[in-house]
Amino acid sequence: MADQQAPDRDDEDWADEYEKVPSSVIFEAIRREGEHELRRPTSALWWSGVAAGLAISTSVLCKGFLAAMLPHEPWAEAVTNLGYTVGFLIVILGRMQLFTENTITPILPLFLAPSRSCFVLTARLWGIVFAANLVGCLAAALVLVHGHILPEARFDGILAVSRHYAQATPFEHFAWGIPAGFLIAALVWILPRMEGAGEVLMIVIVTYAIGLGGMSHVVAGSTELFILVARGELGVGAAVFGGILPALAGNVLGGTGIFAALTYAQVREEI
């Protein structure tokens, strides 16, 4: 029987390309990105965060547009939440600073080498990005309410979406924020292996699931709450303590307390 022909170089290259990437390699890639983010200048973090707050507001716009156009039927949400993915596509593909992505990216360096300086840098990053995201969301809400830049029929859809989000109790925003934070952190973990159309598809799938599940995302949800505040339908205290802070706590618990901790646990003996 003739000897089996050895694989040529092209076959080996294909095998190398599609070989499963170990979790430790993904961890290292995200850790290096986290170290880079921790040392970025304040102005760069701030303006990137403001841009992300403005851009994520397009999720509310597009979902509202679809809500205004579709009948009030049970199946309509399966379509309207496709619009919810738009802002996340812009933010993530545009490499803008979104707070919920940072519940894992800068945390991995902190888990690997916990120190006072690393903790301070992480707190600095979180504080700047979160504040900048809220400023961007507030600016978008003020323009939408007072700028009259949209047809009234489309704006009514945005109001309906915002009012629905504001109906949740603080505990519900906290509880519903946990799976949202977990999914965004999972998306950050997955994306280093994706490229091109695969990256786009993965962002759409994960963020569509967040919208379809009615989960609470602190940044996108802030735009919805700020719209109601700007219209005088909701008080500032109710928006902050009843929606923003509970969703923030849930997102951090899901992204950092659960997903980031579990990913570190599975690779800590390999790195």
User: How does pLDDT run along the chain (271 residues), one tens digit per residue?
Assistant: 444 444 455 545 544 544 566 777 778 788 888 888 888 899 999 999 999 999 999 999 999 999 999 998 989 999 999 999 999 999 999 989 999 988 888 888 888 788 898 889 899 999 999 999 999 999 999 999 999 999 999 999 999 999 999 999 999 999 999 999 999 999 988 887 777 788 999 999 999 999 999 999 999 999 999 999 999 999 999 999 999 999 999 999 999 888 888 887 887 766 6
How far is the CA of 166 from the CAs of 48, 159, 227, 239, 259, in angstroms? 27, 10, 10, 8, 27
Would you say how long the chain is, in residues? 271
What's the pLDDT tens digit per position in 4-26? 444 455 545 544 544 566 777 77
> Under CATH, domain 22-267 is a member of which superfamily?
Glycerol uptake facilitator protein. (1.20.1080.10)
- Whether the CB-CB separation of 174 and 88 falls below 8 Å is answered with no
How far is the CA of 165 from the CAs of 162, 242, 271, in angstroms? 5, 11, 42
What's the pLDDT tens digit per position in 96-113? 999 998 888 888 888 878
Which helix (H) or strand (E) segment holds residue 187: the answer is: helix 170-190
